[in-house]
Amino acid sequence: MKSRSVELSMFYGASPDIIEKAAQLRKNMTNAENILWEFLRKHKVIGLRFRRQHRISLFIADFYCHAIKLVIEVDGGYHKNREQRAYDIGRTAELNEFGIDVIRFTNQEIENEFSRVKQEIIKACVERRDFLKQLPEL
């Protein structure tokens, strides 16, 4: 059983409703999410562990690496909607307040330009890991 401090630090106080919704989303991932998950799972990206449909406070991140506090979001067509874009900007700002960085890719990028997407993810992971190593211990 996880300690309460690990629960708070990794899930940022996610409610039971969010936990249930995340479980449902894991069962119904999109094609692009499945493609990306195959790349991220089992520590394939510089030895880092990613979680899929991970709950963070009020949100569910498509993919999250707690070690480097990095969220990877996969945006479907509805993310082009003005209201959704505004929501995404606000959501990213709230995640940034937790010290979490967010990178985004569209379904089309993942399905049609996956080689480039993988390189961008690896680069972001290395940069984030190196940045966090430089921070003083709290």
Q: Does 7 score more than 60 pLDDT?
A: no
pLDDT tens digits for 30-77? 999 999 999 999 999 999 999 999 989 889 899 999 999 999 999 986
- Report the CATH architecture of 4-134: 3-Layer(aba) Sandwich (3.40)
* Average pLDDT over the chain, rounded to an integer: 86
- 111-127 core/surface letters (b: 16 or more CB in 10 A; e: else): eeeeeebbeebeebbee
Q: For 112-129, write each residue's pLDDT tens digit.
A: 999 999 999 999 999 999
Angle, helices 31-40/114-134, rounded to nearest 10 degrees: 50
pLDDT at 121: 98
